[in-house]
Amino acid sequence: MTKLSSLIPPAGSNKYELAIVAAREARRINDWMRRSGETVPGKVTAAALERTIRGEVPSFYDEQIQ
């Protein structure tokens, strides 16, 4: 696992949106861990944030929502 301080968010990314996506990914990982009984090395939140910054978590913004 990489030190979080060394990860740099992509240019032009919104840090609040990044935090929301990472939080949802952390919830998804926690649910997966509960169902499968497997564990993730390190902290789930840190792993989710790292995956989000690296672009491994798909996210999109739907402009149709009003």
For 12-63, write each residue's pLDDT tens digit.
Answer: 778 888 889 999 999 999 999 999 999 988 899 999 998 998 889 988 766 6
Is it the case that residue 66 has pLDDT exceeding 80?
A: no
Domain-located, residue 22: yes
Q: What total number of domains does the chain contain?
A: 1
Domain-located, residue 60: no
| Residue 26 lies in domain | 13-53
Domain-located, residue 66: no
The reported pLDDT for the residue numbered 30 is 95
pTM: 0.76
Q: What is the rounded end-to-end Cα distance, in angstroms, of the chain? A: 39
Domain-located, residue 31: yes
CA distances from 36 to 26, 33, 45, 58 (A): 15, 5, 18, 22
Determine the Cα–Cα distance for residues 28 and 58; give it in Å rounded to an integer.
13
The reported pLDDT for the residue numbered 11 is 72
Shortest CA distance to 17 belongs to which of 56, 53, 54, 65? 53
Domain-located, residue 47: yes
Domain-located, residue 17: yes
